[in-house]
Amino acid sequence: MISAITHISRLIRAAFVFAREGVFGAVDPSLVPPPGQLALKLARIIERRGDKQGPRISRALTRMGPAYLKLGQFLATRPDVVGFNMARDLESLQDRLPPFSQAEAEAAISTSLERPLKDVFVSFGPPVAAASIAQVHRGEVERDGIRKAVAVKVLRPNVASRFRRDLSDFFFVAHKAEAYSSEARRLRLIEVINTMSRSVAMEMDLRLEAAALSEMAENTRDDPDFRIPTVDWDRTTHNVLTMEWIDGIALNDHKRLAESQVDLPDLGRKVIQSFLRHALRDGFFHADMHPGNLFLDDAGRLVAVDFGIMGRLGMKERRFLAEILLGFITRDYRRVAEVHFEAGYVPAHHSVENFAQAIRAIGEPIHNRTAEEISMARLLTLLLEVTGLFDMTTRPELILLQKTMVVVEGVARGFDPRLDIWKVADPVVREWIERNLGPIGRVQGALAGGGDLARILMRLPDLAARSVAVLEQLETMTREGLRLSPESIAAMGRSEGRKNRWRTVALWIIAATFIGILIAVRNL
């Protein structure tokens, strides 16, 4: 167990770095209690002078190391926690660190694959990219006498222990904050760090990233404008991920795109429509679709890499998204409001009409405008403010989706400043709605419901038999009393009386439940 003093000493160092980089200079003193205002003034004394290029919070997090970098990236997806201004600053945070040595990478691969490096790869080059958790090398493998280029992702040495240490500090802060602040409890800071912890744990097992690649490849195998690199499972382990090397043009390489005479407006359309298909059709989407993670291959298809951050949506969330988008496209604000209530996101005691009026105030200013004229970040800010007024609870999966949509739209807008995201989204949204909410969708839903009912009916005989057995035991207990051996009686006498009483109540509740089930079965 790490002592509070250890946590505090490490957090003091972090506070010094934040103060040095001028992070506290962005805090409004009027929002801070008097003792905190004094601390802010002291922090400004040691603030670094001179170069102020780039967001201050990003510089500070980069200096603090991998776990803080990931914290910043994660909080960029949670504007409900840090606010939209801070979230926008964090979006510019680049997950780039100096690479670790070639020798360490080669040793890690040999150890993980349990083979000498020369038996695994024909060639293995220096790192081409380095991030907080892993770095990527270009290698070659030989199959049937043919050499093929591969990308090899290798975890940083000792990265897990570094993350565990810093995450323990984050948990310490979250627990203290929730103990003393109602606002921290409302934002559920402990759950925020828990979610981040689970996300990082998945990123540090490269087999899970490989599984995400494989799943998305199956989902998109028939997509005309999108594809996924192939995973080399024979050279993939917990610490190493080997996949097809992509020779396409990175979407952040505007010079090469111009030289290749790429149809940029069409490229923007592909980015938006591909993302919406994945989110709506598959319920599984790439949640880090910045230009550095997207390539254009020779066939004109988008190719995505880096599947460390993925998003999932259930059918309920997909229906919510589709109807919300269609409602804004068609200006059916009443339907947009109804969907919020049907999904259970807005409590039933609120007025649908009032909520529709609030949604109209968001939708009308953006209707018939191009992407150049629409601030999607502003739109999402207004939407969250409105839903907050109507007691809508935080939905992390929807916030991740919304933030990814902002990034995707920004990428598309870079290729076509006049792109209208609503017109581009319209065919994808309508296709999904016709397929899932139209006549075909209703038939498929009925068939799925019938399958669920059949499984329940198949279990009824076993359930009835168990219920009868419970009733017979209860009848015997009532007629003859509960029979116990002397040893059992002595043991029960030594146990805590109160605990036994509650245990007996629990047993009777279970028995009563079975009786209710049996009665329901007999009445079918």
89, 166, 288, 306: the catalytic one is 288
170 vs 469: CA distance, rounded Å: 52
Counting other chains too, the contacts that 395-400 makes at CB distance below 8 Å and 24 or more residues apart are: 395/317, 395/345, 396/78, 396/195, 397/311, 397/312, 397/313, 397/317, 398/317, 398/320, 398/321, 399/77, 399/78, 399/79, 399/80, 400/77, 400/287, 400/311
Name the 3-class secondary structure at 490. helix
Dihedral of alpha carbons 162, 165, 169, 174, sign = positive
Name the 3-class secondary structure at 226. strand
269 vs 277: CA distance, rounded Å: 12
Element (H, E) at 120: helix 117-120
Annotated active-site residue 288? The verdict is yes
User: How is residue 381 written in tokens?
Assistant: 């800010």
291 vs 294: CA distance, rounded Å: 5
Which distant-in-sequence residues (6+ apart) come within 8 Å of 270 by Cβ? 225, 226, 302
270 vs 226: CA distance, rounded Å: 8
Amino acid letter, residue 203: E
The residues annotated with a catalytic role in the active site are 288
